[in-house]
Amino acid sequence: MKFITPIIALASLVASCGSPGPLVVRPGEPWPDDQGVHVNAHGGGILHHDNTYYWFGEHKGERSSAAWVGVTCYSSKNLVDWTNEGVALPVSTDTLSDIRAGCVLERPKVIHNKKTGKFVMYFHLELFRQGYAAARVGIAVSDRPAGPYTFLGSCRPCAGYWPVNMTEEQQKATVTPADFPNWWTDEWRQATNDGMFTRRDFAGGQMSRDMTLYVDDDGKAYHIYASEENLTLHVAELADDYLSHTGKYARIAPGGHNEAPAIFKRKGRYFLITSGCTGWEPNAARLYTAESIWGPWTEHPNPCVGEDARLTFRSQGTFILPVPGKRDAFLFMADRWTPRLPINARYIWLPIRFENDLPVLQWHDQWDLNEAFR
């Protein structure tokens, strides 16, 4: 017994010394890494593994938003101080590779597969010099969180499968996009909502642009992506090893024109924060909730409040991190794009607050992670 008291005293002293002071996040300000260089990990996401955070994102250059380097990785113990881990997935010098240098490689996300022990990366891929026409997803894998990752290939997901929430009548309809000389008419909208683009892409696979990954409590993983010419989001189930799609998928908000999906789960309910489709220009965020990941999804008002709420504080969402070990602590990550100097794009990280069980995002010039997530 004699030894216990000093041990407890020492332990609590260590705990209090170790207890971090303010961990200040300054949305929109340059974010220097361990070498004093602004973090270059845009459109990114965070993996928490073995008490370390890994931030993956797009490397952007001075003039070009295209991928001339690849997916970068930074690590941190506290979400504020980031060490540059280098390039996790380099683009290829092989001109025949899907990820040849100069392709468009956006919004990489990494998840860990507990069964296989592998780290799995998905990203939006556009082939070299094809603009945004390819609309593919790329998949890469590694034994270590920071990489290097091995590129496995790219595809348009779910070829030959119907969404679980598309009726037989919708599957069998014959109207095609070519039947409409103009978009956005009432008839075109109805046909789009009824899955005209899903039908068009049934055989070759569904278009897959802005995306995120989500691992549910039961270990099942999902790929959520802007499909159907960015008109409709899809949520697609991944195989047990996370390296492919099972073919089970659902359409979310048909014709809703959503991009930049970011998802989290709270009290058994799924929340999806997205943006509209205005390229690098910011727009108002959208919020959807569902009791099942397969839907139905219900739209709610813009979760942002205050000045610039209609522009998501001049940014576009990319990921929502549930802060490990904290209840109800979710961190919203967004990008303030600067297409004339892509490398300079800023990170807008804000704590999510809840009002009537719905997320609210509010601007802070600066905030303390320890204060926000006690």
Binding residues for ligand GAL (CB under 6 A): 43, 106-107, 210, 259-260, 277, 279-280, 316
Q: How far is the CB of 106 from ligand GAL (least distance, A)?
A: 5
Which contiguous run of DSSP H or E holds residue 104?
strand 104-112
Backbone CA torsion sign across 13, 15, 18, 20:
negative
> CA-to-CA distance for 152 and 50, rounded, in angstroms?
25
DSSP of 123-184, one letter per residue?
EEEE-TTSTT-S-EEEEEEESSTT-PPEEEEEE-TTTT---TTS-HHHHH----GGG-SSSS
Q: How far is the CB of 6 from ligand GAL (least distance, A)?
A: 56
Contacts made by residues 291-295, CB under 8 angstroms, sequence distance 24+: 293/214, 293/216, 293/222, 293/235, 293/250, 294/164, 294/165, 294/235, 294/250, 295/165, 295/250, 295/252
Q: How far is the CB of 65 from ligand GAL (least distance, A)?
A: 7
Other residues' Cβ atoms within 10 Å of the Cβ of residue 73: 29
Which is nearer to ligand GAL, 113 or 227 (by Cβ)? 227
Which is nearer to ligand GAL, 166 or 334 (by Cβ)? 334
Nearest position to ligand GAL, beta carbon = 279
Which is nearer to ligand GAL, 162 or 349 (by Cβ)? 349
Q: How far is the CB of 327 from ligand GAL (least distance, A)?
A: 31
Tokens linked to 47: 């993996």
Which contiguous run of DSSP H or E holds residue 264?
strand 259-266
Which is nearer to ligand GAL, 57 or 359 (by Cβ)? 57
Q: How far is the CB of 10 from ligand GAL (least distance, A)?
A: 50
Q: How far is the CB of 285 from ligand GAL (least distance, A)?
A: 12
Q: How far is the CB of 280 from ligand GAL (least distance, A)?
A: 5
Q: How far is the CB of 17 from ligand GAL (least distance, A)?
A: 43
Which is nearer to ligand GAL, 170 or 274 (by Cβ)? 274
> CA-to-CA distance for 282 and 197, rounded, in angstroms?
26
Which is nearer to ligand GAL, 104 or 331 (by Cβ)? 104
Which is nearer to ligand GAL, 106 or 237 (by Cβ)? 106
Q: How far is the CB of 127 from ligand GAL (least distance, A)?
A: 14
Q: Is 254 exposed, middle or buried (0-12, 13-18, 19+ CB in 10 A)?
A: buried
| CA distances from residue 202 to 42, 126, 151 in whole angstroms, order as listed | 31, 20, 25
**78-80-85 Cα angle (round to 5):** 85
Which is nearer to ligand GAL, 123 or 367 (by Cβ)? 123
Preceding amide of 148 cis, omega within 30: yes
Preceding amide of 296 cis, omega within 30: yes
Q: How far is the CB of 63 from ligand GAL (least distance, A)?
A: 15
Q: 206, 198 in Cβ contact below 8 A?
A: yes
Which is nearer to ligand GAL, 22 or 279 (by Cβ)? 279
> CA-to-CA distance for 44 and 46, rounded, in angstroms?
7
Which is nearer to ligand GAL, 58 or 194 (by Cβ)? 58
> CA-to-CA distance for 278 and 367, rounded, in angstroms?
29
Return the CA Rg of the chain: 21
**105-107-113 Cα angle (round to 5):** 105
